[in-house]
Structure 1
């Protein structure tokens, strides 16, 4: 019998498929990774008349309040919304790298899965620094993480089970990936923002692929109780993202009354479409593999992530 016949069929064996995928992603990481400190021209001046977020993705776009603003103030708000979203990205990357480190802790470092997980940690560290440099480059200030979010993150990174780790990675990365793919090709946006988006999209594509493989192996093994708990956790994250989307500080820094601006943003139908756009791909996938169902489905629909 040849060695080829002894090889496990990746389609029949989820663990073998995961190993094969990790080995492929390690090669892709070696060929297509970036160092943002040298691969982005941080010394280039900001471009005149370019947005920091696409105009249609700004939270007040389409409202009477938006129409009352001058172009300069609209662009200032786009900068502040970018900076606020980047702060959420930094917090998310920080939590995820802790979770991935926990995944690695008791596993064999010689396996492709663990080696790719370590590569992912390195990627996330670079991304956190890249995001911080981006905020500095735009002229904005770093947005502080709210104490409640810090406490939640501490619990997540310490106690979240392994299936929750990959489900959370996929949820956050898929959502932001939708917008960053759009940003990377939008010539109305600042070149430095597009450069950051391109790097993040390329490297996060590997993280997304690995997380999907992990989930497809883990989810079928979950008991009904554990599956229900994971569904509730993910629905809670989605509800929290919906609630915390409109940071009063970003409106204040853009020279607007925070209460008026938050109320206008929450009532803005355009933001339901934005949420649906961001969540469309991940919501469909989670329905397919069983991570949306029962009472959790209502939460996803109320957040606008499901039709």
Structure 2
């Protein structure tokens, strides 16, 4: 049983206590924290150029500095839109499990997690609506697909949450300290990175425990399905950054062709590997992916 695996882990219970205390100590009011200027400058980067989907591509070499700045604006709106959608989905899954059988022990931390993620969703949506006038929808094909087995659901849910948070944090940690970006952009990335460091620490511990529980009764075929599923989910998550509407709004011709070309480029492969370098190392060391 999940509860038995979790309850037997003194390490996990100690981590939960420290993370809950840290959440209380670091608590802030997001509705008063940020400075929201009426507009952000058009002639600057809205996302670190190294993180944009066109970085190092042949297409980038054909664009003017102003076109690259414009593209970074819409890419940033898409990135924060993905945060809104991703947070909504993870909140649904965690709320469905708080104070239920098997998840009694982490439920106290779930309360902090839910509160913090709700506030993250608010300030990411606020940024999108203030400076982009919209929240981008997820493009078709960017979702994870059906779970391979119902009994693996909780493991896969929390593994997906962890993967999503580690993808986002890779971007947050870089943009939080990038002085080429406006202070408002650095601030929302900085505060999100602060909170996500706790969520990632929690997620990794929980995912390992859930995997131990699943592994004790799973067949080799089921374990292989988990590995394939999570690797596919990482790719789908990363490819959601490549949004044809972003390219259209930035004034690029044939946006769907632009997306296909960028997804097929060597730069996309390198960027995905770099983004998930730590995540993949953790999942492989834990035996979750092969």
- Distance in 1 (CA, whole Å) between partners of 2:57 and 2:12 is 47
Instruction: Indicate the residue corresponding to 1:204 in structure 2.
Output: 196
1:126 matched to 2:122: no
Instruction: Give the conservation status (yes or no) of the 8 Å contact 2:138–2:240.
Output: no
Deviation string, structure 1 residues 84-106 (Cα, Å, up to 9, x no partner): 12222211111111111122141
User: Aligned with 1:224: secondary structure?
Assistant: coil
Return the offset for 1:237.
0.9
User: Aligned with 2:276: secondary structure?
Assistant: helix
Residues 228 and 71 (structure 1), Cα distance of their counterparts in 2 relative to 1, 3 Å cut: same
Instruction: Give the conservation status (yes or no) of the 8 Å contact 2:162–2:200.
Output: yes
Gaps of 5+ in 2: 1-6
- Distance in 1 (CA, whole Å) between partners of 2:76 and 2:152 is 29
Instruction: Indicate the residue corresponding to 2:276 in structure 1.
Output: 279
Q: Spell out structure 1 runs of 4+ moving beyond 4 A.
A: 146-153
Instruction: Indicate the residue corresponding to 2:4 in structure 1.
Output: none
Deviation string, structure 1 residues 277-303 (Cα, Å, up to 9, x no partner): 11000000000001111xxxxxxxxxx
Deviation string, structure 1 residues 207-252 (Cα, Å, up to 9, x no partner): 1111111122222222333433322321221232354432111000
Instruction: Give the conservation status (yes or no) of the 8 Å contact 2:74–2:249.
Output: yes
- Distance in 1 (CA, whole Å) between partners of 2:15 and 2:157 is 18
User: Aligned with 1:161: secondary structure?
Assistant: helix
Instruction: Give the conservation status (yes or no) of the 8 Å contact 2:144–2:232.
Output: no
- Distance in 1 (CA, whole Å) between partners of 2:206 and 2:238 is 27
Instruction: Indicate the residue corresponding to 2:249 in structure 1.
Output: 253
Instruction: Give the conservation status (yes or no) of the 8 Å contact 1:60–1:261.
Output: no
Aligned partner (choices 269, 277, 282) of residue 266 of structure 2: 269
User: Aligned with 1:103: secondary structure?
Assistant: coil
Aligned partner (choices 89, 93, 96) of residue 83 of structure 2: 89
Question: Alignment length, in residue pairs?
Answer: 278
1:143 matched to 2:139: no
Gaps of 5+ in 1: 1-12, 294-307
1:217 matched to 2:209: yes
User: Aligned with 1:37: secondary structure?
Assistant: helix
Return the offset for 1:147.
6.5
Instruction: Indicate the residue corresponding to 1:231 in structure 2.
Output: 227
User: Aligned with 2:162: secondary structure?
Assistant: helix
Instruction: Indicate the residue corresponding to 2:18 in structure 1.
Output: 24
CA RMSD in angstroms comes to 2.7
Aligned partner (choices 80, 97, 101) of residue 95 of structure 2: 101
Q: What pairs with 1:285-296 in structure 2 (closer than 5 Å)?
A: 285-293=282-290
Instruction: Indicate the residue corresponding to 2:178 in structure 1.
Output: 186
1:169 matched to 2:161: yes
- Distance in 1 (CA, whole Å) between partners of 2:43 and 2:158 is 39
